[in-house]
Structure 1
Amino acid sequence: MTEQRPRRTQAQRRASTRARILACTAECLLESGYAATTVSAVQERAGLARGTVQHHFPTRAELLVAATTQVVDQRLEQFRREAELLPPGRDRLQSVVDLAWRDLNSPAFFTALDLWVAARTDAELRDRLVHEEQRVFTEMRRLYLEVLGEPYAADPRAELLVEFTIDLLTGLSMTAMLTGTLGEREAVVRRWKRALAVLVGQLPSDELLDGSPLPLTASAG
């Protein structure tokens, strides 16, 4: 005799529907961008009535920000997984640059960028997005410093260097998205790694423009 599954409660059905809506919204944002992620597009993808979507998320801004939270959480989890796979002997300062560069060239980052641009002229979206972006910025900085570990963590310059790295690579990703080739972008990343090595005393300043590869196991001075 086939065992019947217990019927889901109303709360469980509601949570399942909400999760489905958010998953479909996140997919739409990643695949098609902000402009194409309308309530109609989400309800069609989810196979739900428009009223069902709007029951959970009365406005488009609420829907998009809730989905962005999900994308952000996936982005943070991906960073954590990649950080755990770093070889133990590899220089952590260079590793943070590599991790940050991959993150800032990911679909999740470009989704965030799309929303930032839209929020410039959408007050409701901007108000709701500010808190979420503050959360991701705070958490990413914490993760970068955590990955650095010792001897960098004890260096009073570490937090500022992480800040510079994020700002530089964010700007590079945004501008190179339209104008730069992959080779040009990678060259800037290599130069920044060398600049960081000079700043922490791994290399003398006269080697700043040297094009040779940095040692993978360099330690802070």
Structure 2
Amino acid sequence: MAEPSYGDYEARSRVTQQHILDTAVDVLIELGYSGASTLKIQERAGVSRGRLLHQYPNRDALLVAAVQHIAEARVASTGERTVRPKNPGKRIDAAVDALWSMYQQGYFWAATELWLAARSNRHLAEALAPKEQALGATIRTVIDEMFGSDLTSRPEYADVRDILNTSMRGVALTYAFDPRDPSSDPHLAGWKRLARRMLLT
């Protein structure tokens, strides 16, 4: 039997790393920051402690990497799946729907756990800040692509994008204690009207 090649080893390592990151996000969502210990993640992932610590030297490094990796993948996937109608009004509606869907995904709650913990954890805040800045740039790029260059060139566009993001984040947080169907959220129609009014008139 042939010895595994370096490429085989690298492929297995990437699969293991992805599994660890997915598990870390799941544990963070389920148990919160205080409950997402490296031991719990190790047990759930079914990997050795040595393998886990080899990839990530401490819990905060692991959790930050996990949330950022999952978020980048989900944001990119959302952007790829979004229909971009030629009609500007319909494209605005589709982009608002897609943006709102980002706040219904698990990584949003995982990120929220880290944001809250970072308020009183300087080391976590220092690890999280540059990652969040990079992720924010990625999210803005994806949102811009969903709206299209004819709309992003409008003087009011940056304000629209910021208003939508901050408002959606605030509304999404209420789902923590008041879960409901996000597709029928009354704010959704209002966000679309606001975006249309600011970008089309």
TM-score, with length taken from structure 2? 0.83
Consecutive unaligned residues of structure 2, counting only runs of 5 or more, are none
- Structure 2: how far apart are the matches of 1:67 and 1:27? 10
Larger Rg: 1
With over 3 angstroms needed to count, the CA separation of the structure-2 counterparts of 1:51 and 1:184, relative to structure 1, is: closer
CA contact (8 A) 1:21 1:46 kept: yes
Q: How large is the Cα RMSD of the aligned pairs?
A: 2.7
Superimposed CA distance per residue, residues 110-169 of structure 1 (whole angstroms, 9 cap, x where no aligned partner):
111111111112221111111111112111112112211143122111111111111111
Distance 1:106 1:19 in 2: 18
In structure 1, the gaps of 5 or more residues are 201-219
Cα displacement (A) at 1:103: 0.6
1:7 aligns with 2:4: yes
Identity %: 25
Please name the residue that 1:153 is paired with.
152
Question: Aligned in 2, Cα 1:102/1:184: closer, same or farther, shift over 3 Å?
Answer: closer
1:22 touches 1:66 (CA, 8 Å); kept in 2?
A: yes
1:141–1:163 contact (8 Å) kept in structure 2:
no
Q: Give the ranges of 4+ consecutive aligned residues of structure 1 lying more than 3 Å apart after TM superposition.
A: 8-11, 13-20, 30-33, 85-90, 179-185
Q: What aligned pairs does 1:59-208 form with structure 2 within 5 A after superposition?
A: 59-83=58-82, 85-89=83-87, 91-179=90-178, 181-182=180-181, 186-200=185-199
Output the amino acid matched with 2:138.
E
The 3 A distance-change label for structure 1 pair 29 and 81 is: farther
Amino acid at match of 1:45: R
Residues 79 and 98 of structure 2 are in contact (CA less than 8 Å); yes or no, is this contact kept in structure 1? Answer: no
| SS of residue in 1 equivalent to 2:177 | helix
